[in-house]
Structure 1
Amino acid sequence: MASFIKALLLVVVAEMGDKTQLLAMAMASKYKVKQVMMGVLIATILNHALAVAVGSYLGNVIPMDIVKIVAAVAFLVFGLWTIRGDKLDDEEEKKVKFGPIVTVAIAFFMAEMGDKTQLMTISIAAENSKPLLILMGTTAGMLVADGIGVIGGAWMCRHIPEIYIKWVAGIIFMFFGALTLYKSVPAAFLTPVYIILFLVALGVLIYLFGVKFAYYGQVCDIALSGQEVSADKEKSCSSETVN
């Protein structure tokens, strides 16, 4: 059960402001929420089943000490990726010539390939021996995070600055990454010199990803525009009913 909860919480954190959350929010302005969430569910199960299979295989063929170090570095990268934010390209919002659920599932599956949450699922699966619980946890985490974005994205944008969400999520990842790295690397690398060099390098990377090359604003732009589209649809339906 601990593996399920860990996977769920980490995916929720990773998905905040992620490209696939942006895509789910954009799709919600075109289709019904239940159709979007069903498409997300189908795509996530398929995508993360692949990720869990890859992670479980790597965990079996690579020594666990190396797996933990790689996972720790990956978490640091995910933290930097999170504070930088993601950008949704216009091509990823294009409609596919299928029904709403299949359209969302295909778009979401393609967007998730090589994305942060898929790579993180591989890392979690490589560290654990319970692939089914990891799959269930990461799938539930995607549904929770994308549900928050679709249903409560506009509310969050009005009450919580986007930058706060990204920085809190990124710091959580970097904290766990640094802690895991501290517990995994050989004692010879835990000297003051190496620790100071690590902190300086991490500080420079945080500045570059979190300030210099960061993406901000798109989450709220999509959330608020989606709410406006939904409001316009309701008005048009009401006027048609009256007529």
Structure 2
Amino acid sequence: MEALLVSTGLVAIAEIGDKTQLLAILLAARFRKPLPIILGILVATIANHALAALLGVTAGGFLQGQWMRWVLGAAFIAFAAWALIPDKFEDDEAPKDRAGVFLTTLVAFFFVEMGDKTQVATVALGAKFQSVYWVAAGTTLGMMLANVPAVLLGEAAATRIPLKYVRWAAAGCFATIGLWILIFG
């Protein structure tokens, strides 16, 4: 249960202002069809984060003892620094609407999430908790908690959220977990 709660909380906070959330807002503004967008985000996130958690669990099997503690602690502290850097959505990443709304969202979300801080955090969480299911479920829930309101409220919500403070909160969460791992193992 700890894996689910920690994964959900970290990703929900880290996702605010992230490029995938900006993608959700863009898709909502472009297509104005929230249900297929939300379903596309859900399916893409389940696939992407299940693979990331599996990679983390596998890597965690190789890194044991003190090595695992130092790698994970350092990784979470690095995520804290990364969370402070504002994301922006690049024009060349904008989705093309040749396919339906669901398929466009699914493909765009899956690929935009590759190498993103929430995906990398999912790998680290998988290594820490050694549970593909609970980590993927938690990170997917966190993504949905952050992105469903973005889809439903669109750009209006994004302009009212003080992203600077959200980034600081996300960085604080990541740093706290990193230090906790380093100190208490």
Instruction: Provide the TM-score with structure 2 as the length reference.
Output: 0.91
Aligned position for 1:2: 2
Query: CA contact under 8 A between 1:27 and 1:104: conserved in structure 2?
Result: yes
RMSD value over aligned CA atoms? 1.7
C-alpha distance in 1 between matches for 2:148 and 2:15: 11
Alignment of 1:1-243 (within 5 A): 1-31=1-31, 32-152=33-153, 154-155=156-157, 157-158=159-160, 160-184=161-185
Deviating beyond 4 angstroms after TM superposition, the runs of 4 or more aligned structure 1 residues are: none
The count of residues paired between Structure 1 and Structure 2 equals: 183
1:63–1:102 distance in 2 versus 1, CA, 3 Å: same
Query: CA contact under 8 A between 1:64 and 1:127: conserved in structure 2?
Result: no
C-alpha distance in 2 between matches for 1:148 and 1:69: 36
Query: CA contact under 8 A between 2:150 and 2:157: conserved in structure 1?
Result: no
1:96–1:141 distance in 2 versus 1, CA, 3 Å: same
**Kindly, what percent of the aligned residue pairs are identical?**
37
Report deviation, 1:162: 2.3
Query: CA contact under 8 A between 2:53 and 2:123: conserved in structure 1?
Result: yes
Partner-residue secondary structure (3-state), 2:84: helix
Query: CA contact under 8 A between 2:16 and 2:163: conserved in structure 1?
Result: no
C-alpha distance in 2 between matches for 1:80 and 1:96: 35
Query: CA contact under 8 A between 1:80 and 1:170: conserved in structure 2?
Result: yes
Report deviation, 1:104: 0.6
| AA of the residue aligned to 2:169 | V
Report deviation, 1:100: 0.4
Partner-residue secondary structure (3-state), 1:29: helix
Aligned position for 1:205: none
User: Which 5+ residue runs of structure 2 have no aligned equivalent?
Assistant: none
Query: CA contact under 8 A between 1:17 and 1:82: conserved in structure 2?
Result: no
Partner-residue secondary structure (3-state), 2:30: coil
Higher relative contact order (CA 8 A, sep 6+): 2
